[in-house]
Amino acid sequence: MKAPLMSALGLVKIAEKASYEEQGQYLSLIKKSLQRLDSFIDEMNNFYRNEKLALQREKIDLEKLLSEEVENLKNVYPDRSVTIAWNIAGDIELLSDKVRVQTIVTNILSNAIKYMDLQKQNPFVKIAALITEEVCDIRIEDNGIGIAQAYQDKIFDLFFRATDQGQGTGLGLFIVKDTIERLKGKIEVQSKVGEGTIFRIQIPNQLYQPVEIE
């Protein structure tokens, strides 16, 4: 947490002595440092919340959850133009831990936006979900920069970053995997550099049988 804060403070000192024309450039760098700090704090909150909170069993309106998270992310990344669409199949109720499901979805969607391919004319994120009595199967696909094959076994490691693009902390996907494991689910990734990434998530539907965290 201290590194981005000290970076911002250092830039403030430089900006104070800079010309009016240069101050805009320094303000942009300060903003990036503070955004990185804000992202780190949010992810640490998610991590400790995941560690401490008991598992909840509640009805989840996945359509509403996705709509709200997409709207939030548009506010977080106002300068990123990406088409996000989703389709939810199945008329079965989904019961799980809403906060944890929200954490999973938000982190993966946030990554898709942060690591979009800026050279492509039509960046997109496609979400497909199927809810059955046993499981909620979620597929999130993007046409972003992709992940090199050599890194795909490491992206869920703590603090690992496969690229310098964006302001990632290396916590997001670690939290995603940890959260999914606590829900007794699983996650798989397929990716190719320059083409995009697909995450497939399976979370048990607690419709009849609650899941207990060990």
Residue pLDDT, tens place only, 15-60: 777 787 777 777 777 776 676 666 666 666 665 665 667 788 899 9
Superfamily in which the 57-204 domain is placed by CATH: Histidine kinase-like ATPase, C-terminal domain (3.30.565.10)
Q: What is the pLDDT of residues 112-142, one digit of tens each?
A: 998 999 899 999 999 999 999 999 999 999 9
What pLDDT score was predicted for residue 80?
84
Write the pLDDT tens digit of every residue in 144-178.
999 999 888 888 887 656 555 555 556 789 889 98
Q: What are the distances in angstroms from CA 196 to CA 5, 92, 141, 199?
A: 33, 31, 7, 10
Sign of CA dihedral 192, 196, 202, 203: positive
CA distance 88 to 130: 6
CB count within 10 Å of CB 69 equals 16
